[in-house]
């Protein structure tokens, strides 16, 4: 499945990042997620989950720290 099939082309996405045994839930723009996935494919040092069933709950989650670094090309 393509990235576009997992989340909308615009708007916010619920992302869960696993570092060792610690889980972090964030809200991220769809554009930033594409670049985050691109970086992740280069080096897998964490695990990413996309939570598709909670688009409405994204407003309650914190924004991904330094999200603006992933928005550009």
Residue 41 lies in a domain: yes
Residue 17 lies in a domain: yes
Residue 36 lies in a domain: yes
Yes or no: say if 64 and 15 are a contact pair by the CB < 8 Å rule. Answer: yes
What predicted TM-score, i.e. pTM, was given to this entire model?
0.72
* Cβ-Cβ contacts under 8 Å for 1 (sequence gap 6 or more): none
The domain total for the chain is 1
Residue 73 lies in a domain: no
The answer to whether residue 25 scores a pLDDT higher than 50 is yes
Mean pLDDT of the chain: 78
The answer to whether residue 30 scores a pLDDT higher than 60 is yes
Residue 72 lies in a domain: no
Domain region containing 22: 3-67
What integer pLDDT is reported at residue 33 of this predicted model?
Answer: 84
Residue-wise pLDDT for 36-67, tens only, equals 888 888 877 777 777 766 555 677 889 988 88
Q: Which residue has the higher pLDDT, 45 or 6?
A: 45
Residue 48 lies in a domain: yes
């Amino acid at each position: 499945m393509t990235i576009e099939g997992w989340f909308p082309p615009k708007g916010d996405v619920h992302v869960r990042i696993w570092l060792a045994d610690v889980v972090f839930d964030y809200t991220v723009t769809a554009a930033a997620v594409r670049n985050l996935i691109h970086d992740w494919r280069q080096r897998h040092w964490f695990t990413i989950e996309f939570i598709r069933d909670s688009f409405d709950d994204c407003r309650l989650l914190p924004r991904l720290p330094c999200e603006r670094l992933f928005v550009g090309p």
